[in-house]
Structures are given as C-alpha cells and as structure tokens.
Amino acid sequence: MFNWLERPLIFPAPPRHRGNWDMQWFDKEDVYFESPRGPGRRAAQLHGWFAPHPKAKQVILYAHGQTEHVASLASVVARLQDALDASVLVFDYRGYGKSEGRATEGGAIADAMAAQQWLAERTGKLPEELILIGRSLGGAVAVGVAAERGAKALILENTFGRLVDVASYHYPWLPVRPFMRNRFDSIRRIARYEGPLLQLHGTRDRIAPAKFARELYAACPSPMKRFYTVRRGVHHDATPLAFYSHMAKFLDEVEAFRKIGTLPAVFSQEGSAELSSVG
C-alpha cells in the first residue's frame, strides 16, 4: 500500500496543459534526447528547452522541482541567461511534460546525466565543466549527477539531505524509513563531491525545513562553499533577485580559483549569509 502511494507523493507531475509551451518572448530550442531505461528496454525520449546565449560565459543545466515542468520555467531560464551570461538547458524528467516514461529516483538521475551529456556535446564542453542548478527535488537530482560526474559548480535551492527525513517529518506515524523506495540520500552522495557548492534556503520552509539543507551542506567536503538563507522565505517562493547577483559573484570566484589555484579569502572561514525574501 505504501509503495502505491509513494510515487504520486514524490513525483506529482503537473498536467501537461499547464504552462505556456509556445513561448515566443525569448530564444529557445525544443530539444529531444534519450535516457537509458535498463538492459533490454527501449530508451526514454526526453524533452527540454535549450536557450543559448550569444556570448556565453557559463553553461547551465537546471533540474526543476517535483511540481514543475519546462513550460513553467521560462522566467527562470531568462533570468539565468541575463544574470550569468549563460546558455541554459532545462529539461523534464521521464513522466513530466513531454518526456516519456514514469519517474523514479534512479530514472530522474539518469535523465539528468543524459541531459548533461547532451548539453556538453552541444556546447563543446566536458560534462564536468557545466554548472548544475537544482531546486527542491531537483537539488537531489543535481547532487546525484555531481557526485558521479562532477561539476564546475553545484547550486542548490530549497533542497534536503535525505528524502526519508523529510517524509518522516511530515508523516511521523508512518513507517516511511524502512519502506521508501525513492530515498534520495543526498548526504551520502554529496560526500563524493568536492567542487564548489552554493546553497539557498528559506528560514520558514515547512516542506523541506532548513535544518535538512544545513545537514547536506555540512556533509559536502568542498573547501569552496557558501550557504545563504532567505529571511521569512518559504519553499515555493521565487528565487530572490539578489541571489542572482550572489551566483554571479560566486561563479567569478570559482573561475578565479580555476585559473590561479588559490582559494579566495572569503572562503578561508566557513559561514553563511542572509537575504531578504524580497531582495
């Protein structure tokens, strides 16, 4: 019974008709690529939007949350393009939007790896030279990719350390820990990622409380990481505009570190900072 209930709770894909699939106000390409389904099974065809920047400084793969799909993310893609001078690929996991199949933990991470590979080939880069951004459940997907393949930087918004902890927080009377199949143990995975990490979390997030995000942050062995909180921020708030500036600054520091091999002074002591929910 619990396994039957688990999938719609973890992967509540929105109806395809929700959102604008024929967006005209920014340049994008509808792209399709395949993600493996396992031995002897036909690969799943996935769909995404690729928004190239004419003078790209960064290349970004964006993994969305559990209640989103590509057609709801135009403004996010446009802001990332403008703020970071970035080419951006946003894609749908299997079972979301125009992508085939049914979502699972392993499938979603495999889908993100397929998207990463497609984007690397399209832009002439190595997979580990791409920036991974993940929001909510997409943060766990992005961590899975970063742990396996690395990233130029990993940026996480309103995500968690272990999905079983979040489930136990919401359903303390159910035996979720022994029976959940889709566990998304990002704490275990991020221990294998030593690249730059930037995290953002709302202080009033009741869906994935900030304590779970801080546990994830603490588990990352990277010497170059930063944690921002959003004062009075809740789970489904839009990304504060100020955070785009912090992302740009962080990525400039990452680039400087890659060139000279010296850790910027701002990371000599670990800390965190606060943003306004309207900033």
Mean pLDDT (whole number) for 32-57: 92
Q: How far apart are CA 21 and CA 19, in angstroms?
A: 6
* Residue among 168, 160, 119 at smallest CA distance from 139: 160
Write out the DSSP string of 122-178.
Answer: HHT--GGGSEEEEETHHHHHHHHHHHHH--SEEEEES--SBHHHHHHHH-TTS-HHH
The three-class DSSP label of residue 277 is: coil
Which residue in 150, 133, 131, 129 sits closest to 141, CA to CA?
Answer: 133
Q: What is the mean pLDDT of residues 73-87?
A: 96
pLDDT tens digits, 242-260: 999 999 999 999 998 888 7
Angle between helices 74-84 and 241-260 (to 10 degrees): 50
- pLDDT tens-digit map of 202-223: 999 999 999 999 999 999 999 9
Edge-to-edge strand list for the sheet holding 86-91: 29-35, 44-51, 86-91, 58-63, 131-135, 153-157, 197-202, 225-231, 272-276
Q: Residue 126 and residue 120: Cα distance in Å, rounded?
A: 6
Neighbour-count burial for 47-72, b at 16+ CB within 10 Å, e otherwise: bbbbbbbeeeebbbbbbbbbebbbbb
DSSP H helices in the chain:
2-10, 74-84, 105-123, 137-149, 163-170, 176-179, 186-190, 210-219, 241-260
Considering the entire predicted model, what is its pTM? Answer: 0.94
Angle between helices 163-170 and 210-219 (to 10 degrees): 160
Question: Residue 26, SS3?
Answer: coil
pLDDT band at 1 (very low <50, low <70, confident <90, very high): very low
**Total structural domains within the chain:** 1
For residue 95, pLDDT over 70 is answered with yes
98 lies in which domain range? 2-276
Q: Tokens 């766990």 — which residue?
A: 140
Q: How far apart are CA 120 and CA 125, in angstroms?
A: 5
CATH number for the domain harbouring residue 145: 3.40.50.1820
Percent of the chain whose predicted confidence (pLDDT) is above 90: 77
Distance CA 184, CA 162 (A): 6
User: What confidence category does residue 2 fall into, taking pLDDT thresholds of 50, 70 and 90?
Assistant: low
